[in-house]
């Protein structure tokens, strides 16, 4: 039964780890915009591809 001491310790450490992760997420401003990222992920990133290829032939 003494193993419970250890288990409780581990579970508390884990929980504190999540709490710290949450606080860091709030601090970094993740909760300030809950809409734009959901749109941003849907947008194509390369509409200017052709032009870039033509403009920067040296990079190829």
CA angle 24, 25, 29 (to 5 degrees): 110
In the complex, least distance from residue 36 CB atom to another protein, rounded to whole angstroms: 4
Q: Looking at 3, 13, 41, 42, which residue binds another protein (CB under 8 A)?
A: 42
Which residue's structure tokens are 């194509």? Answer: 44
Binding mask 2-41 for another protein (x = CB under 8 A): --xx--x--xx--xx-xx--xx--xx---xxxxxx--xx-
Q: What is the number of other CB atoms lying within 10 angstroms of the CB of residue 39?
A: 8
Check: CB of residue 53 under 8 Å from CB of residue 60.
yes
Residues making contact with another protein (CB under 8 A):
1, 4-5, 8, 11-12, 15-16, 18-19, 22-23, 26-27, 31-36, 39-40, 42-44, 47-48, 50-51
């Amino acid at each position: 039964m003494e193993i419970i001491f250890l288990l409780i310790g581990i579970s508390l450490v884990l929980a504190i780890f999540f709490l710290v992760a949450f606080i860091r997420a709030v601090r970094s401003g993740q909760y300030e915009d809950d809409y734009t990222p959901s749109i941003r992920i849907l947008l194509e990133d390369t509409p200017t591809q052709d032009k870039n290829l033509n403009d920067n032939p040296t990079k190829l």
